[in-house]
């Protein structure tokens, strides 16, 4: 077995104070296996008593080389890797990747597919925020909310299973549309969910929003100003909690978001409590969007008709020679994308999820880069945790809503 | 809004000896490496792009000059615009100036580019590897870096697999005394 290395502060001298080098403050390792770091995040903390003097995040424990792997797969096959980045938002990852491929190819998506994509992406947002509310309440020692949140999340995962056969790694959104149309039970399942969720959100709020213990633990903790938040590249609810109105769905609408009437919740305090309020409000807005999308769900096909890029329906393969050739070619060598590079972004539950996709004219992406919202949101941690207690640091980590699969890729 | 973005792109190209390329309805400015630090300051200050959305790189190996392209994406929240900037970099000892003094969020993004492509950023306050282990050799996203598979070592077959590793037969790193038994 390899021997353990002795750890010194030599590499990190510039990140800690002189007091740490003199031995006056304590260096403490937190994670990577720690229930409150929301995954495999390691933090090196410089502590003065219980107060955080410096915090040095160490990431990469979940790095799986997704971007490198995708370069060796055809466009369709590379998509399944995108599910595994932000595992709280697999639909959103597929969504961003497919939008980038479609932009590269100039492929049109039928309106029905666009609306279903929006419905699923918003349900995913609710489910991600439910996990967030549950786990961050757990971090500040409110146990029961967690159980309620997971009860509702279960219902959303059941809807995903209904449409795609999978609860999490769905790969349901495909370049050019969807894998297949939703089953007839879909509408009822979503409507049932929409009926109960507003009251359930009220219930979580009843447990947390005016709870004096929760307020004590969150108000004034982990503050960041609007200017700093923008300069540090924060996005999503973490940015909007500081009062900056930036939401990709409004900034550069995609997939028909401009047709839906919804607000972007903002809060100006920029602390943990503000981010909590923004996320709760966002869930209510997501319900509104799903409601509208479902009410005017157009009929029609769910996949583009361009069979150079999108596989023809199974039923055609038995009767049409053309369809058989397309099917065969698409699943053996894939399609050639024209040379060029595009950048596409969607609003994931955590913020701007961007995909940079470059093609050299062949059937495999030449370069894929994911702009993970969690990475930029996490890098601000040293700034906003300074001077707080270790117990508050836990609340702050939760409030920036990181998913380590997204950070490390 | 598209007109104003077009004028910004043209102005940038004119001011900093760049050129404009367009693909899929999106314009990018290609700027020379020598002017990028200056240009980024202007993008932030004069043109009002207040957020750095992403930095990444592309490797065009075996092309050598330029071998890499740095890709920057800037957002202007008040003006609802996004700007793409590309910077070609030669393959021999790739170096670029840091933009962490203008955009704080460049810190980890530049570390990631350094980690994955080996492009060094001069003036960066904390240029360490971000995702790979600190003693890793090579830069994985370079095109001449093979997509290899690593055999997992367990305690019962650690030594058996160790002799097949690329570093077999060499001195163990950090003066470690080699396998110490189980």
Question: In 3D, which of A236, A288, A250 has the Cα closest to residue A401?
Answer: A236
Query: A158 phi and psi, to 5 degrees?
Result: -65, -35
pLDDT tens string B5-42: 888 888 888 888 888 888 877 888 898 888 888 889 98
- A93 falls in which pLDDT band (50, 70, 90)? very high
Mean pLDDT over residues A51-79, rounded?
90
Mean pLDDT over residues A277-291, rounded?
93
Size of interface A-B (CB pairs under 8 A): 117
For residue A69, the distance in angstroms to the closest alpha carbon of chain B comes to: 7
How crowded is the C-beta side of B75, counted as CA atoms within 13 Å? 26
| Placement of tokens 């990469």 in the chain | A60
- B182 falls in which pLDDT band (50, 70, 90)? very low
CA distance A262 to A266: 13
Contacts of A354 in chain B (CB under 8 A): 53-54, 73
Nearest CA in chain A to B61: A366
Mean pLDDT over residues A132-153, rounded?
88
Q: What is the CA radius of gyration of chain A?
A: 23
Residue A268's contacts (CB-CB under 8 Å, 6 or more residues apart) are A226, A242, A243, A274
pLDDT of A99: 92
Cα four-point dihedral sign A226, A230, A233, A238: positive
CB A324 within 8 A of CB B7: no
A222: left (phi over 0), alpha (psi -120 to 50) or beta: left
pLDDT of B180: 43
- pLDDT higher than threshold 90 for residue A16: no
Determine what percent of chain A is predicted with pLDDT higher than 70.
98
Q: How many angstroms from the chain centroid is the CA of residue A313?
A: 31
CB A145 within 8 A of CB A137: yes
Does A299 lie at the interface with B, CB-CB under 8 angstroms?
no
Residue A313's contacts (CB-CB under 8 Å, 6 or more residues apart) are A303, A323
From A231, A340, A367, residue closest to B103, measured CB to CB? A231
Angstrom CA distances, B31 to A220, A271, A360, B2, B37, stand at 43, 39, 21, 21, 10
Cα angle: A252, vertex A255, A257; to 5 degrees: 65
Query: A160 phi and psi, to 5 degrees?
Result: -60, -40
Residue A213's contacts (CB-CB under 8 Å, 6 or more residues apart) are A140, A141, A142
pLDDT tens string B72-121: 999 898 888 888 999 999 888 899 999 999 999 999 999 999 999 999 99
How crowded is the C-beta side of A107, counted as CA atoms within 13 Å? 26
| Best to test chain A binding among B5, B25, B44, B108 (most A CBs inside 10 Å) | B108
pLDDT of B151: 75
Contacts of B54 in chain A (CB under 8 A): 343, 354, 356, 369, 371
Which neighbouring-strand residues pair with B82?
B75
Scanning chain B, the segments in alpha helix (DSSP H) are 2-15, 36-45, 106-117, 158-162
pLDDT of A366: 92
pLDDT of B138: 85
CB contact under 8 A, B147 and A72: yes
Q: How many CB atoms lie within 10 A of CB A225?
A: 13
pLDDT of B134: 82
pLDDT of B168: 63
Scanning B17-67, the segments in alpha helix (DSSP H) are 36-45
CA distance A128 to A151: 13
- pLDDT higher than threshold 80 for residue B176: no
- pLDDT higher than threshold 50 for residue B178: no
Does A282 lie at the interface with B, CB-CB under 8 angstroms?
no
Query: B75 phi and psi, to 5 degrees?
Result: -115, 140
Q: What's the maximum distance between 2 C-alpha atoms anywhere in chain B?
A: 69
CA distance B124 to A349: 31
Task: Output A20-25 pairs: Cβ under 8 A, ≥24 positions apart.
Answer: A20/A46, A20/A53, A20/A54, A24/A48, A25/A53
Question: In 3D, which of B125, B70, B124 has the Cα closest to residue B94?
Answer: B70
CA distance A228 to A242: 9
pLDDT tens string A376-393: 999 999 999 888 998 888
Angstrom CA distances, A203 to A196, A395, B53, stand at 11, 21, 36
Q: How many CB atoms lie within 10 A of CB A355?
A: 25
Strands B95-97 and B120-122: what pairing? Answer: parallel
Q: Which A-chain residues 314-343 have CB contacts (< 8 A) with chain B?
A: 340-343
- A293 falls in which pLDDT band (50, 70, 90)? very high
Nearest CA in chain B to A104: B24
Angstrom CA distances, A170 to A142, A150, A255, A349, stand at 31, 19, 19, 17
CB contact under 8 A, B28 and A340: no
Query: Whats the size of chain A, residue-wise?
Result: 409
Mean pLDDT over residues A362-380, rounded?
91
Task: Output A15-22 pairs: Cβ under 8 A, ≥24 positions apart.
Answer: A15/A54, A15/A56, A15/B126, A16/A46, A16/A53, A16/A54, A16/A56, A17/A46, A17/A53, A17/A54, A19/A48, A19/A53, A20/A46, A20/A53, A20/A54
CA distance A102 to A174: 10
pLDDT of B169: 62
Exposed, middle or buried by CB within 10 Å (0-12, 13-18, 19+), for B138? exposed
Contacts of A404 in chain B (CB under 8 A): none
């Amino acid at each position: 077995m390899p021997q353990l290395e002795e750890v010194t502060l030599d590499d990190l001298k510039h990140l800690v104070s002189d007091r740490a080098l003199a031995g006056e403050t304590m260096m403490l390792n937190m994670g990577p296996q720690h229930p409150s770091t929301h995954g495999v995040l390691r933090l090196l903390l410089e502590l003065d008593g219980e107060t955080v003097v410096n915090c040095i995040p160490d990431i990469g424990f979940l790095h799986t080389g997704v971007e490198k792997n995708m370069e060796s797969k055809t466009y369709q096959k590379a998509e399944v890797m995108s599910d595994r980045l932000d595992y709280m938002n697999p639909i959103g990852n597929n969504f961003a990747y497919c939008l980038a491929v479609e932009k590269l190819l100039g492929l049109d998506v039928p309106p029905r597919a666009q609306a279903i994509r929006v419905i699923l992406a918003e349900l995913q947002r609710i489910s991600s925020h439910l996990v967030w509310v549950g786990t961050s309440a757990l971090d500040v020692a409110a146990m029961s909310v967690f159980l309620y949140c997971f009860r509702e999340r279960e219902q959303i995962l059941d809807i995903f299973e209904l449409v795609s056969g999978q609860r999490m790694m769905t790969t349901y959104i495909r370049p050019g549309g969807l894998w297949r149309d939703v089953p007839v039970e879909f509408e009822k399942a979503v409507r049932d969910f929409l009926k109960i969720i507003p009251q359930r959100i009220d219930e979580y709020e009843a447990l947390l929003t005016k709870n004096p213990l929760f307020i004590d633990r969150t108000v004034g903790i982990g503050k960041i100003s609007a200017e700093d938040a923008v300069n540090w590249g924060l996005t999503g609810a973490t940015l909007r909690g500081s009062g900056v109105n930036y939401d990709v769905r409004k900034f550069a609408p995609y997939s028909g978001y401009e047709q839906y009437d919804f607000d972007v919740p903002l809060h100006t305090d920029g602390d943990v409590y503000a981010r909590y309020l923004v996320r709760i409000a966002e869930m209510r807005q997501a319900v509104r969007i799903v409601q509208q999308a479902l009410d005017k769900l157009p009929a029609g096909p769910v996949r583009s008709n361009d069979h150079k890029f999108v596989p023809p329906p199974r039923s055609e393969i038995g009767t049409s020679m053309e369809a058989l050739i397309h099917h065969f070619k698409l699943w053996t060598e894939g399609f050639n994308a024209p040379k060029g590079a595009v950048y596409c972004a969607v609003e994931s539950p955590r913020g701007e999820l961007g995909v940079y996709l470059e093609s050299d004219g062949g059937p495999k992406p030449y370069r894929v880069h994911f702009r993970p919202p969690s990475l930029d949101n996490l890098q601000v941690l040293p700034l906003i945790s300074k001077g707080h207690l270790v117990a508050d640091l836990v609340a702050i980590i939760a409030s920036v809503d990181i998913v380590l699969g997204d950070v490390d890729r | 809004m598209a007109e104003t973005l077009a004028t910004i792109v043209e102005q940038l190209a004119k001011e900093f000896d760049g050129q404009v390329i367009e693909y899929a309805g999106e314009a990018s400015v290609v700027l020379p490496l020598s002017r990028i630090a200056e240009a980024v300051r202007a993008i932030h200050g004069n043109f009002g792009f207040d957020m750095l959305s992403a930095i990444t790189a592309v490797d065009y190996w075996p092309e050598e000059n330029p071998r890499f392209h740095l890709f920057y994406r800037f957002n202007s929240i008040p003006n609802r615009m996004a700007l793409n900037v590309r910077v070609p970099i030669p393959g021999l000892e790739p170096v670029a100036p840091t933009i962490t003094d203008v955009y704080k969020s460049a810190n980890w993004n530049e570390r990631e580019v350094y980690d994955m492509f080996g492009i060094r950023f001069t003036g960066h306050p904390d240029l360490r590897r971000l995702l790979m282990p600190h003693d890793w050799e090579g830069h994985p996203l370079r095109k001449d870096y093979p997509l290899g598979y690593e055999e997992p070592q367990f305690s019962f077959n650690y030594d058996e697999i160790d002799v097949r590793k690329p570093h077999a037969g060499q001195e163990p790193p950090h003066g470690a005394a080699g396998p110490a038994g189980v």
